[in-house]
Structures are given as structure tokens and as C-alpha cells.
Structure 1
């Protein structure tokens, strides 16, 4: 029972005496200070010996509306300033554009070219984390304050300013060239479309012209055939009439001879032969009957018959034959067909092509040279940085000092507790027979 107080005196307690710990650390301040100084020296060495990394940036903003006005007013290619900025951003982010710039400027990237490494592998070493494109907030993409920021981190010994500004200019030129190529293709497509419509109108005109000429010639042919038929029929009719007249004359001549009428006379004159008075008599004969032909007398009838027998052509006896000859002569040449075939500038007669010609002239007059087109505004060019962003010397040194201090304190506490354990070692392990209750 008398040994119990002595046992509690040497048993460890759960309470921590902060003053005792601070005192223990203070006693080993050399270790703490040494660790702090050592860590600080390591931090200083790392801060001053680690490679320096610089960061630069360039900011692009939408171009003014008047810069793209001529392109947008062409009614061929619509490119609002915000869309132009987005297209340039696509070029800046394009792997192909970056690779082409890398290939076109080998002198700027000599630091990334190493023996045994291909061009693409050297480019991957540069493109992995060197250039970063910061895009605007999608919710504010329609804002007039939209922008693009291109950031680049590069090690010491590399002309990062020339690389970043050169790449921005290269991307803008590449997109400008793409816009020019697109505009040229669109204009050529429009011109080909207009040419197709004009050719179709010309083909339609040629077809219509040939059809009209064919109709006119066919109408002339039909008219000529009809007139020829009419002329043949009239001549046959007059020939038959002449034969009929000859038959009538022969009959009248025979009658006139039989009754002794040699000179023209009338029925009343023949009946007045009985009146042989000396006084002159004037006879007037009113009748509605046709006087027979033989009363003309044999002399007149034979003279007419002889004339009819000698006649070889009856055309002069009918005015219609002369009219038919006139019409046939006019059908020899169709003046409308002659004018149609004699047209020199037939495009002037095309229908509904004036707007097409006007549009074609407008498209051919467009300026498709986009070499001076300003797609974006370079709000800020990359400038030489005032200092590196890595390593941050003050932060590294401060952190190394803190780490050294903490490590020194931990080392001091570890040595203190090890020392206590060694001092209390004989009383920490007791024979079970000396414990109370045994």
C-alpha cells in the first residue's frame, strides 16, 4: 500500500503542459533555427535557380460596324462584327492554324526543336500548355463588350511577344483569306447561276424564234398552195367559159345566117321593115327580155368567135387572177422571217433577263479582295512582361521558411518525447506482482 503514491508519480498523464512543451522547444532552438535556415536556403536556391516563366496576353474585340459595312452591303456575304470575332477565335484555337504558324516560323521555335524529335512532336511540346484562349461568357456573347483574350506562358530565352503577336496576326490573316475565298466561291456560284438562267432564256428565245419562223413559213406555204389551187381553178373556169362562149357563138352565127342578119339589129327593127314611109321614124324599144345573141349579126359574131379562137390566155379577163399573182409575189419573201434571221444582237430580245444582267454586272463589279478587310480590333498587343510569373520568389522563400520552422518544431518535439520516454522507461514496465490487489 505504501508504494501506490510513488507509482502514480511516474505514470504518464493525459494532460499536455504547453509551457513545458514551449520550454522544451526553446531548449532545442538551435535545431529549430537550423532547420528553418536550411529550408530557407533551399527555398532561396530553388527560387533563384528554377527556370523563369513569363506570361503575356493579347486582347481582341469586335471591329467597328463601318469596317465590315462594304462586305455586308454586298448582299452576298453577311458577317456581323461578333461573328467575325468568333471566326477569328476559331482560328486562334485551331490546331491546324497553330501547326501552320509553327511550320512557317521555325526561327521562333528553335527552343522546342530537339534532335530526334519530329516537327509535330516539337509542336506538341509547345502547344501543350503554352497558349490559352480565354473565351467570353456565353451568356454575354451578344454583348458589345465581348472580347477574346489570348494568354501565353513561355520560358526565359523565348521571344514570346513576337510569337503571340505574330500568331494573332497570322490567325487574322488566315481568317481574312478564308473570308476572301468564301466570298469568291459564293460570287462565282451566283455568277454561274445567273449564267445558267441567261442561257436558259437564250435557249428559250432560240426555240421560240425557230418555232415562229417555222410557223410563218408553214403559213406562207399553205397560203401559196391555196392561191395556186384558186388560180388553177379560175383558169379552168375561164377556159370552160370560153368554150361555152364559142359554142354559143357558133349557134348564134348559124341562126343569124339562116335569117339573113348580117349586122346587129333588134326584133322591133326587123318587124318595122313593113313601114317604108319617107318620114324619119325614131323607135324606142322597152323590154325586160334578153335579146338573143344572133341579133348581133354574123359579122360581129364571127369576129368575136375568131378572137376567142385566137386567145391563148384568159388571165386578163379576170381581176382576181391579177390579185392572186400579187399575193403569190408577196409570198416569195417573208419579211418577218428575213428580219428574224437577220438579227445581230439577239440577246436584246431575250425576255425578263434585264434584272439578271444587272445582278451579273453588280457581282462582277464587287471587290472580292479582302486583303484590307479589318475583321477584329486588336485592343491590346502583347508587351514585354515586367517580370516572370514563375517562380514567385518571395512566396517560395516564405513557404520554405515556414516549412523549415514547422519541421524544426516537429523535430524538437520528437526529440523531447523520445528523451522523456527514455527517462520514464524503468517505471513504465512494472512487475505485475507489485501492482495493488495482487
Structure 2
């Protein structure tokens, strides 16, 4: 019985301690309220003294097709709206671009300067922590259109709106300059290619013309040689024919003199040479055999022979010689070769030269105003934020009050425990004595 009663007394004392605990906390309510208020005041002091942090962003979308039509109509440079947006986005993301923009606009970053750090070192840290690229989630299929953006988180004192908008405009301008440089190089390369094609065409034309002239000259030389050979052969043939005729006439003259034929005669007239003619007699002789040459009479034969011996040329006896002379005269001047050599504007005879010249003239007269080229559509321009994203004052104040209240309760409990410890020790001594 004596062993059980302390346990019952302990349980009763515990229940009495819980009620006493609430009474003790209620008695120290002023302390709890003061600590809670102090926590709230400290939280409020932190919330209102910490430097506010703001956030702005700019979103870019693809430009319209008509905005890039002037560039694409050049025929030498193609740029789709999506490609233009990606190029601008890559330029915005580029560290070099941001560093160049920083160096060109150091006044925008002056508020970030810290002791013992150069402005470049300050920008290095700011670039890593403050900038964030906005891209569509590739895992989501409900993205209506492509976009790219840049988000900036910056402390109070920095003109984040001017910084973001200026960076975007600076990046667009850099891409315009790059496109202008690329376009100039592409046009110049195309012009060099056209010049090379025209030079090659001229060289090919000169070679083909020289080959054609050489071919014509060779054909004329060959034809001239053949005609001269034919003329020489004909003259030799005519000379041989004349010599043969002279030999025949010599023989016929000897026969005619032996027969006493001095005048032209016929075989039948030889038998009647001594017959006296009475009246006018007309004789007709029909003979199907060729009459020997000596019947022409020695006088006629000698006359023909003397004429043949005195002849200096037999060309007139052969019509082909006159024709050969005509052909040789025509070969003396090849009019086709003369016309080829007299061509003043040989470019007119080059194939495709007119189209190449037209293309070169078109490229030289291209006037694309790249400085006003709209590469992207700025869907969202960075605007002055209405409130900072940090600190969240209401949340900090609430947390300060909660923590202050918890701390106040803890202090009150601690005081109550310290106060009850002596009394418990005294009661324990009394129980031991009993």
C-alpha cells in the first residue's frame, strides 16, 4: 500500500503540473507578448532595411515573313523567321555580347560596384547570378509558338528595365551588323564567281575561236594543195597531149608529102586526081572509118604543128584549169576567218554571258537596308516592376511573430521549470524523512 501510493501521488501531481503549466504560462503572458512583439519588430526591421530585389523580363517571338522578305528576295541570303529569332536569342545569351554591352554602358552597372573588385569582376558575378534565359519546355507539346526571352533579377539601384531592353536592342543590332557583313561577303563571293565564270568563258571562246581559225586555215591549205596538185597534173597532161599531137602531126606530114597531099583530101579522091572534071561536080563520100590524119594535107598539118610548137601554155584548152584558178583565187581570202578576226565585241558571242552580266548588275545594285530589318517581334518589353520579388515583407513579419511567440513560450517554460525545481527538491526531502 505504501509502494502504490507514491505512484498515485505522482500521477496526480503530473495532472496538477499540466494545469499548473498553463497557469504559469498565463502568468507570464506579458513576457510572451513582449518577446513575440520583439521578434516581429526584428523581422520588420530586417524586411524594411534589406535591399529590395526586382525582376523583369523580355520575351521575343519570330518576326513576320514580310519583315524578312526584302532580305530573302535577294536570292543569295535566306533567313527564316525562326532562324532569325534563334540567332538573336543566341546573341543575347552570349557572354561576349553581354560583356560588350557592359563595356559600352558602364553607367548602368555602376550601382553594382563593390570595394576591392573591378567592374569586370562585378559584372562576372552579376552575369552568372542575375541573367536567366527563358525557353519553351521541349517536353510540353502545348506550346503554341516558339519564343525566347531573357529574365533579369537585380537589386534596387540598378536600372534593370533599361538594362534588359538595351541588351535586347544591342543584340538585335549586333545580329543586323552580322547579317550585313555576311550579305556583303556572300554578294562579293557571288560576284567573284561570276567574274571567274565570265573570264573562263572568254578564255574558252578565245581557244575555240583560235581552234576554228586554225581548222579553217588547215582546210584551206589542204584544198589549195589539192587544187595545185590537180593543176600541175592537168598541165602535165596537156603538155604530154600536145607533144603527142606534135609527134602525130610530124608523122602525118611525112606521109602527106610522100603521097603528094598538100591540100585536104579523101581516100576516094586519090584515084581520080588525074580525071578531068567536066562542069560542076559535087562528090559525096560516105565512109564509116576514121580518115587518116595525113589526108588533111601537108600544109594544114604543118600549120597546126607550127602552132603547137609555138604554144606557150595549154591552160586555155582545159576548162577545168580555169575552174581551178577560180577556186584558188577564192581560197586566197577566207572571209569567215576575216570576220572572226574583225570581231570587236566578242562578248556578244559568249553563251550565258548576258545572264551572268545581268546577275552581276543585279547583285551590285542590291540595296537592302539591314539597319531597319526586323529580325524578331518583341512580344514582351521589360517594364518597371510594381513590387519587388524579395523581400516578402508580410511573410517575414509573420515568420518573425511566429518565431517570437515560440521563443516567448520557450523562455516562459524555462523560467517555470527553473522556479519549480527547488520546490520539488524540498518535497522529495520531506517524503524521504517520512
TM-score (norm 2): 0.89
Superposition pairs of residues 93-104 of structure 1, within 5 angstroms = 93-104=93-104
1:316 is matched with which residue? 316
- Name the residue aligned to 1:251: 251
Q: CA deviation at 1:216?
A: 1.2
**What is the rounded CA distance, in whole Å, between the counterparts of 2:280 and 2:336 in structure 1?**
71
3-state secondary structure, aligned to 1:56: strand
**Separation (CA, whole Å) in 2 of partners of 1:89 and 1:51:** 31
Check 1:7–1:252 CA distance in 2 against 1; reply closer, same or farther (3 A cut): closer
In the aligned structure 1, how far is the partner of 2:340 from the partner of 2:30? 119
> Any conservation in 2 of the 1:112–1:125 contact (CA below 8 Å)?
no
Corresponding residue for residue 138 of structure 1: 138
1:9-54, CA deviations, whole angstroms, 9 ceiling, x for partnerless residues? 2579776976443322221123212211222221222122211222
Instruction: Tell me the distance in 2 between the aligned counterparts of 1:175 and 1:13.
Output: 83
Partner residue, 1:65: 65
- Could you tell me how far apart the structure 1 residues matched to 2:154 and 2:241 are? 122
Tell me what 2:233 maps to: 233
Residues 188-227 of structure 1 aligned to structure 2 (within 5 Å)? 188-227=188-227
Q: CA–CA distance in 2 between the matches of 1:173 and 1:16?
A: 80
Q: CA deviation at 1:124?
A: 0.5
- Superposed displacement of residue 55, structure 1: 2.1
Provide the rounded CA distance (Å) in 2 between the counterparts of 1:64 and 1:315.
90
CA separation of 1:430 and 1:231: change in aligned 2, threshold 3 A: farther
Asked if 2 retains the 8 angstrom alpha-carbon contact of 1:10 and 1:427, the reply is: no
Structure 2 residue 158 is the aligned partner of structure 1 residue 174 = no
Distance 2:250 2:70 in 1: 102
- 1:86 maps to 86
Match status 1:333 vs 2:333:
yes
2:125 aligned residue = 125
Conserved? CA contact 1:264–1:300, under 8 Å: yes
Secondary structure class of the residue paired with 2:109 = helix
Change (3 A) 1:254 1:148: same
Q: CA deviation at 1:116?
A: 5.3
Give secondary structure in 2 for the equivalent of 1:68.
Answer: helix
2:333 match: secondary structure: coil
The CA deviation string for residues 147-200 of structure 1, in whole angstroms up to 9 with x for no partner, is 333222222222222211111100111122222333333333444444444444
- Counterpart secondary structure, 1:262: coil
**Can you list the C-alpha shifts for 1:217-272, whole angstroms capped at 9, x where unaligned?**
11111111111111111111111122112212221222222222222222233333
Residue 296 of structure 2 aligns with which residue?
296
| Distance (whole Å) between structure 1 residues aligned to residue 132 and residue 77 of structure 2 | 30
1:160 maps to 160
**What is the aligned-residue RMSD (CA, Å)?**
3.0
Partner Cα separation in structure 2 for residue 12 and residue 247 of structure 1: 182
